Structure 1
Amino acid sequence: MFMNKQLWLTVMLLVSLFLFGCNKEKVVTSDPGGSDEQKEDITLTIMMWDDWGQGFDANIKEVVEEQFPHITVKNIGGDTGNKDWIEEALTAGNVPDLIFAHRQYHVNLLEEYELNYDMTELLEKHAFDLSRYDPAHLDEWRSWANGELWLLPFMADRYALHYNKDIFDLFGVEYPTDGMTWKEVITLASQVTGERNGVQYQGLDITGNGHLPMTQIIGKTQLIDPETDEVLWTKSPYVKQWLEMVESVYNMPGNEKPEGDAWTESRTLAMRPLWLDMGTPEDLNFDIVTFPQWEDAPNVGPLAGGWGLGITEPSQHKDEAMEVMKFLYSDEHIGFLGESPIHAPFKHLFEEKDIDGMLVGERLEKFKGKNLQALYKLEAAGGPESRSEFDVGAFQQIERLGQDFIESGQDVNTFIRELTEKEEIRIKDEKGAS
């Protein structure tokens, strides 16, 4: 039986009044994706290093809470590289939604404590634009996470060949230029090595960053075979080539490894390939060019490295955390997360741009007017599709390679043979401890 018209109108009026009452109490906010929906008040916790958290309030907490009124951001502090601290934090119930970490040194901890989470599908769901990255940079981070994206870098390490103009002027030699190879730099170093006015000058020092040239050439290779645990990296022809290059540099007459800090103190060092050196004195007459390249790997720099944030597996607020990451990683905000704005990972922010305007703060003033475009001309070294769990220890060996070789006093072949034996023992010991 159909209801009569008057009764039908009465029912519809009551329904309308009910819906109006509900909507009147509904809190509507606009999310960055463009849809309007009710937002539940939540707290997002971030596990960051204490010393990296100095700008947390201004650069993360305040801007996020202003953009997302329903979100409160909390830094649970601590040391993300300290296994004991992570265990204590988790035991106390301080489970982070986002974790701040370094690629190779922290990924094992993420996996050990079941914090690792592949963000690939979530990035796609929230239309996160990964094309802004150098693809090789992301490949590097994926290589430490079983081919997944557990962490997304918010900064990149920037490298350059630093040179002291005064020393080149003293020797009457032309300055270095962008695009030079290691062989060309070593040849140039021989021309600015020697004694002038009773002072001995060294042309080049490379052991302070002995792993960087190695990462340029073996960045895409596996260090330890993931299936057999065989030591691979010491058998690479490039290891021998690098050590022979180190040997040639310090066998150059007058270019023995300098005592103390010859770059900032005695100022007797002509060239120094390194991360952008924040410790360079303001009154030093210096400039930079591109990091030297291997002839077999043109236009390739060292590993891009840096630091990143990742959403954790146990987080109950993954979508909200991703929207926060998307906001913080926008072109507008990304420069405030890392060591400095010029360490942001997106090259389009710098190519053919006036970088001097980004140099804010005492540590960066000294770089105004320098050839900062050199920092963005090379591609990152990248990484293999997968890595052994023992690669982290291998990477630690690579970091000390040049210094250990010089201090050993051994010939190249003997050093490599003993290094391989030490690596095999290390892997055996780590297996026994696990």
Structure 2
Amino acid sequence: MVAKEGYRNGKRALVLLVMTALLLAACTGKEDQGKQEPEANKPKEPVELSIWQTVLNVNEEQFMQEYGSKIKEKFPEVTLRFIPYKGKGSAIQDLIAAGQMPDIIYASVGHIFFGVLDPQLQFDMTELIKKNQFDLTRFDPALIERQKQMANGGVYGLPTSMDTLVLYYNKDIFDKFGLSYPKNGMTWDETYELAKKLNRTEGGVAYRGFGMATGAMFTVNPLSLQSVDPSGDKARFTADEGFKKLFENFSRFYNIPGNEVTQQNITLAKQRELFDKDKVTAMFVNTGAFASSTYKDTMNWDVVSLPSFGETPGVGSQPIPTYFYIANPSKKKDKAFEVISYLTSNEFQQYAAKQGRFTSLNDRSIRSVYGDDIPYFKGKNVKSMFPVKNASPTPLTKYDSVALASLGTQFDQVLIGPKDINTALRDAVEDANKKIETEKGK
């Protein structure tokens, strides 16, 4: 009887011991689970992203200053391999042939064919945009409209910055002649009347009222005119009255006595020199980027928004955006999208805006800090130089640059004379169509 009782007691003790051990193990397991590192804090897998850009001779130092250093700061697990474009031997076709396919391509809007579409590297981000609940309404609508035009309703690239045409002026010349400075929101007619007052010769110096980067004016024209009909690859310069209106508006400035052009000074390089080197041109139309890249503190300049036509007040040129694209062959599309998304974030856009790159976002708080970190912008009108509204972007074709070169040549002949505008536009169409056919045959 005693033996049986001892047996029962021993059995109970053993069960109790096992239950205690299991309980302790469970508690310990829970404690260990509590000590596990949260998923968000786990070290992320290292990844290398190669990035190629389409602008000639941008070096790695410049890339790191503009983008790379902030990417590394945000994504320490990412190793960036920047591939500069140096001309022959470093074009995208050369990289593909050498097995150096980039994951990301960044390019200004004018390089979409050369850098992305011609080598067939386009990738529609639509599914990644949905997957990441990425909000496209944060951007200036014209920038997304441009992408949808190129991608048949999809999105090949996200805009990280944009530029536009603006009107710079030399304050010293206006002060010298006792004239009021240009203002935001002027019309072309008002600008013309002001230019007429500035063509004078004083102290042996011939001052000029007005100049412009004519090629850019036609390329991103404020009337949203399309250069080439994509359905037939034919120039459209005589398809309506739009290009005639541009020719008439811009040529009148060069018909002002004292503001004429010759074979010696009609080139864009010389027209720019007359403004920023010789300092004899009072007003000059150029891109906003020239404020920080060229003019800096070399002259007493300021800037206002591009003049507009009376019937479309406040409408500037078409925007000139820079987009970041994911190359279709990339095996790292999710990480590439994550990086590109960051470059469009409020955090990065505010940093870039302070450095003098105009935001692609519709956010007044970010626009308000434009140029804040640039000392020589202090006291200048740079925050207000961008238009109330961008002109609607026109669909691009791969032959636009060919056609626009023909247009520019004919415009020069109108300025120098004696060719009339109607003849010049007809000749531009004929010349452009021949050159387009030649390009198509290559």
- Unpaired runs of 5+ residues, structure 1, are 31-35, 360-364
The match for 1:215 among 212, 220, 225 is 220
Corresponding residue number in structure 1 for 2:258: 254
The match for 1:368 among 355, 374, 378 is 378
C-alpha contact 1:101 1:151 (8 A) present in aligned 2: no
Query: Are 1:390 and 2:391 matched, yes or no?
Result: no
Give the TM-score normalised by structure 1. 0.81
Mapped to 2, the partners of 1:387 and 1:281 lie a distance apart of 32
C-alpha contact 2:143 2:321 (8 A) present in aligned 1: no
Give the TM-score normalised by structure 2. 0.80
Mapped to 1, the partners of 2:413 and 2:365 lie a distance apart of 37
**Percentage of identical aligned residues:** 28
The match for 1:302 among 313, 317, 341 is 317
Q: 1:367 to 1:382 in 2, by over 3 A?
A: same
Deviation string, structure 1 residues 371-417 (Cα, Å, up to 9, x no partner): 12322333222324x44443343345456664454356421122111
Cα offset, 1:315, TM superposition: 1.3
Root mean square deviation, CA, Å = 3.7
Deviation string, structure 1 residues 94-148 (Cα, Å, up to 9, x no partner): 1211112222323354223221011133123223332232101222344344443
Mapped to 2, the partners of 1:224 and 1:80 lie a distance apart of 29
Cα offset, 1:16, TM superposition: 7.7
Q: 1:383 to 1:306 in 2, by over 3 A?
A: closer
Mapped to 2, the partners of 1:338 and 1:89 lie a distance apart of 32
Corresponding residue pairs, total: 414
Query: Are 1:41 and 2:82 matched, yes or no?
Result: no
Corresponding residue number in structure 1 for 2:71: 64
Corresponding residue number in structure 2 for 1:163: 169
The match for 2:426 among 414, 417, 426 is 417
- Unpaired runs of 5+ residues, structure 2, are 1-14
Q: 1:251 to 1:65 in 2, by over 3 A?
A: closer
The match for 2:279 among 267, 272, 293 is 267
SS at the partner of 2:234? coil
Deviation string, structure 1 residues 213-250 (Cα, Å, up to 9, x no partner): 6633343x443222233322343312112222233212
Deviation string, structure 1 residues 46-96 (Cα, Å, up to 9, x no partner): 123551532444554444344334432222x13187686322212222121
SS at the partner of 1:382? coil
Mapped to 2, the partners of 1:203 and 1:43 lie a distance apart of 52
SS at the partner of 1:376? coil
Cα offset, 1:303, TM superposition: 2.3
C-alpha contact 1:177 1:289 (8 A) present in aligned 2: yes
Mapped to 2, the partners of 1:343 and 1:73 lie a distance apart of 24
1:24-173 counterparts in 2 under 5 A? Answer: 29-30=39-40, 39-48=44-53, 51-57=58-64, 60-75=67-82, 77-79=83-85, 85-173=91-179
C-alpha contact 1:107 1:145 (8 A) present in aligned 2: no
Corresponding residue number in structure 2 for 1:177: 183
The one-letter code matched in structure 1 to 2:325 is G
The one-letter code matched in structure 1 to 2:392 is G
Query: Are 1:228 and 2:232 matched, yes or no?
Result: yes
Corresponding residue number in structure 2 for 1:362: none
Cα offset, 1:420, TM superposition: 0.6
